[in-house]
Amino acid sequence: MSASLVWFRNDLRLADNPALIAGLGSGRPVVPLYIFDEETPGIRPMGAASRWWLHHSLQSLDASLRSLGSRLILRRGPAEKVIAEVAAEYDASALYWNRAYDEGSRERDARVKLSFDRRGLVAESLKGNLLYEPWEVKTATGGSFKVFTAFWRACRELPSPGPGLPAPKSLPAPKNWFASDRVEDWALLPTAPDWAGGMRATWTPGEAGAQRRLSTFLDQALANYRQARDLPALPATSRLSPYLAFGEISPRQIWRAATTRGMSAATEKFLSEVGWREFSYNLLFHHGDLSRKNFRADFDSFPWIDEDGTLEAWRRGRTGYPIVDAGLRELWTTGWMHNRVRMIVASFLTKDLLIDWRAGERWFWDTLVDADPANNAMGWQWVAGCGADAAPYFRIFNPVLQGEKFDPRGDYVRRWVPELGGLPAEVIHCPWEAKTPLPPDIYPQRIVDHAQARDRALVAFRSLKKSA
């Protein structure tokens, strides 16, 4: 009997997985397939932290599928070639997948669908990774939105997302299982050196880990979300971003779980953050490669400074500004950084150092477990001033004032920059003002004076405005 292939991508879950349910509903044996594709042009290879997460997420998904009498087939190579091979092995007459929205994936998926259509086979893509498709949210004139507030207002006027689809209780298996790669042979984990100890201590990849994380957030942090979400020392944010990036939980599941507890100002604020993810994907769909191309074309002539060693100091968390260094060290250790701190470190790179935002975006892509083609690029462009609905050019975060406002006692800095632990709160964000400043071999001097850097950045932005 012919089979149905279910092509898993960034949707590594059983519950609320439309492609999996469509495969089950076909009445044929179901072959779950994951393809590690780093060869198709236009598909951006994963960063190192994401590869670590993927290893564990695939192990988790395979275990879940085996509990249903199935298994996950792993193959490596160009997706179009691999799908053709697996379809031939299982005499597949149908292929189902949940949509991706970056340009390279859409072009590849269209080619896959065309090859199935030509042979009279079923190839169906479904909505499984967004609340609303990019073409469902339109301006009054039928265009796409470039401002978040208007976009989210339009979303809220659409029908509320329905309940998620239940996970299947069993999956019909093919008569024979053909060869599968072993995830261990893909060498996704770091070995020499093994730098993933902090990530192992911080995260539990997989669908079950996502559900536990959601429940913990709703039970312990949602009520104070509006007031505490900007304080990096507190466990006040959902930390669901990597689970969303790998599709171990769907935005519809999050929406349903949050709203069934009743609507409040905190819930509305949390859902609006889910809305920013929707907005980012809307921009990605309508405007192409946001990781390389300025959304605002006038920024193509921005006078970025050639990197002169300060980029490496920034990456290592050795800038001399404690809140910046704390964030970058948190990132290196855990694969994650608090959102408020992401904005601070991005502003420091692009405005204090005048280094092209794409250098920061590439570093985040490699080191974030939640590296995402829409959120990551949109966030960097927003801070740099070249994105949609971007911060005005004169908004340049003062890293000292930001630290004093959002980490007033210095708890976050003390955790990630322990060499400053003995400083009183009054100077922990400006250690150069301490009565006895630390020697440079203990903590570095500032690589740039913020006041002078701010003036330099304003000159650069004003020159851009004049030339526009």
Instruction: Please list the active-site residues.
Output: 273, 276, 304, 339, 357, 380
Edge-first strand listing for the sheet containing 94-98 = 73-76, 30-36, 4-8, 94-98, 122-126
d(CA 238, CA 202): 14
d(CA 370, CA 280): 14
- Burial of residue 260 (number of CB atoms within 10 Å: 0-12, 13-18, 19+): exposed
Beta bridge partners of 96: 6, 124
